[in-house]
Structure 1
């Protein structure tokens, strides 16, 4: 065995972490991009969201400066130079003074606690949001007011926790109580109690049982009965159809159902009217049906006979480097080396985020423009 030194020449594509992050940023959807930018704004103090009012004021200041330049060129020169309020209050100075007032009134860094604004007395936005009641919470609330014992309530919590979004118990009782000290007989008894809860038909194990539970709560019916007193749904045509002829009902084979039950087709048709008002999914009212609107990254519009690609930046934070921290980093007073290193690192990260967003927007517009062509 010999030791030797070899010299090899090869080409490798190595992506820097910044390039990898830029590619990852390009692949994000609009919602994910908005969440990522919000996270950057929270983690990097040098980044700030540019308010719409500041952006409009900057545009207005630029227009006013242009008008003043044209007016001064057409008028005679004056020996006295006076600065207007718009010129004195530049966006950077206003932002810097705003930051100083903010930090000066912050009670967490030693400010006065005696002076508190009325805004502090209001609850947070999260506390004012209404939370929709879930099916599980609704059933647990009813279980807490039931007259069941502590052991039976524990079994009830186990049953309610295994219900699906439609309100059905899909697993068997033997499988559910497996690994616990509860018996299947106890679970069956508690299940019957839960099936009396609101909404009617909850905790059923199949569609037929769900509909039968609701039929038991409907009370009287104008139709005749099969083997039971007239006017009661117990033992009626409705119950017989649900128990034995659901598949025929799905195929609307009314004549076959009438022949099997020994009734007329009209009676079967009237029974189906009762079944139509039953709820096959008791948990439907508690299902979250919030629809999320898909917001496009670009708009393709036709302008003067040509298709134009327009970038949609509505809803995305317009970030910039904080003028306050710019002024702080350019101050003459010396700070600690650790503070300067921290600010330099955050400044590079902020500049990279802003450049990545601009590059992402340009890339998307170029790609869509090529697709349109």
Structure 2
């Protein structure tokens, strides 16, 4: 048998994914909340990465000495109060909320189209329900918890508020109210933070906890005095908490950085 040497030219196509491309695709599939957590984890693990932080001036919340309070004129208080009314437009901020309860509606959920191309998904603006269902599927939940989550997400208003009580959901899924509250606690910390809350107070308090605002006074203002803030009852609040108008304005600015309607930005 004779041995023969031959040269062959073979053409083939091969998809090569660089580490950078793999990482880019992975990051594109993350929600804003998951992306933030990933970046924070990378900052902890990689000593060569640095976070560019904006310098934020922290105002010292100190009580005005008694001598200065005596010297303060009514005109000065009026100026600060007028500025509060100008900057804190609580009618627009809280005017969408009503004390009347809406009739519970169990709606059919809207999810992203399965056959959508990758490019289309990048430009497609998801609905609130679709965005939450996507996060629900990625969570580590039992079948019962997933069923509860689906009912919760299916009963949200266009602004992200839950329109069914925990007991109603428990009756539908045939479980306990405690099981519903446990799942609800997780969903309220999905992106957008504060979604599936039942009241404006609950919505803002969830965001306050997530962003680690630890001042107990701002929690009390949100929990017990949102109506006072809406009605601009500033002086009684200052007397109650023994703070100045400037200090109250600092708390108002902090509260107005939160979003009372987290679901409104979705289609």
TM interval, short-chain normalised: 0.5 to 0.7
What TM-score does the superposition give when structure 1 sets the normalisation length?
0.38
Cα distance in 2 for partners of 1:131, 1:234 equals 37
1:281 correspondence with 2:261: yes
Q: 2:179 aligns with which of 153, 173, 186?
A: 186
The equivalent of 2:235 in structure 1 is 255
Aligned to 1:156: 149
How far did residue 186 of structure 1 move? 0.6
Aligned to 1:201: 194
Distance 2:210 2:172 in 1: 35
| Residues 289-331 of structure 1 deviation map (CA, whole Å, 9 limit, x = unaligned) | xxxxxxxxxxxxxxxxxxxxxxxxxxxxxxxxxxxxxxxxxxx
Partner SS for 2:209: helix
Q: In 2 relative to 1, CA 179–279 (structure 1 residues): closer, same or farther, beyond 3 Å?
A: closer
Question: Residue 168 of structure 2 aligns with which residue?
Answer: 175
Q: Map Cα deviations across residues 16-35 of structure 1 (whole Å, 9 max, x no partner).
A: xxxxxxxxxxxxxxxxxxxx
Among 237, 243, 252, which residue is 2:217 paired with? 237
Aligned partners of 1:237 and 1:268 also within 8 Å: no
Q: Structure 2, unaligned stretches of length 5 or more?
A: 1-118
CA 1:165/1:246 → structure 2, altered by over 3 Å: closer, same or farther?
Answer: same
- What SS does structure 1 have at the residue aligned with 2:196? coil
- The one of 272, 278, 299 aligned to 2:252: 272
Structure 1 counterpart of 2:210, from 217, 239, 257: 217
- Which one has a larger percent strand, Structure 1 or Structure 2? 1
Cα gap change, 1:151 to 1:128, in 2 (>3 Å)? closer
Deviation at 1:177, TM superposition (A): 2.5
Per-residue deviation, 1:235 = 4.2
> What is the CA-CA distance between 1:145 and the residue it aligns to?
1.1
Corresponding residue number in structure 1 for 2:104: none
Q: Shift of residue 278 of structure 1? A: 1.1
Q: Describe the SS at the equivalent of 1:178.
A: helix
CA distance in 1 between counterparts of 2:129 and 2:223 reads 28
* Secondary structure of 1:284's aligned partner: coil
Quote the offset at 1:236 in angstroms.
2.7
Q: Name which of 135, 142, 160 aligns with 1:142.
A: 135
For residues 251 and 172 of structure 2, the distance between their equivalents in structure 1, rounded to whole angstroms, comes to 44
Write out aligned runs for 1:88-103 (5 A). none
Structure 1 counterpart SS, 2:152: helix
After the TM superposition, which residues 59-138 of structure 1 pair with which residues of structure 2 at under 5 Å, given as runs?
131-138=124-131
Could you say what the CA RMSD is over the residues aligned between the two structures, in angstroms?
1.9
Q: Which has the larger radius of gyration?
A: 1
Indicate conservation of the 8 Å contact 2:159/2:263, yes or no.
yes
Does the CA-based 8 Å contact 1:201-1:213 persist in structure 2?
yes
Q: Distance in 2 between matches of 1:128 and 1:241?
A: 44
Q: How high is the TM-score relative to the length of structure 2?
A: 0.52
Structure 1, unpaired ranges of 5+: 1-126, 220-232, 288-373
Q: Match of 1:216, SS?
A: helix
Query: CA offsets per residue over residues 254-291 of structure 1, 9 Å max, x none?
Result: 1111122232222111100011111110001103xxxx
1:162 Cα offset (Å):
0.7
Whole-Å separation in 2 of the counterparts to 1:180 and 1:189: 14
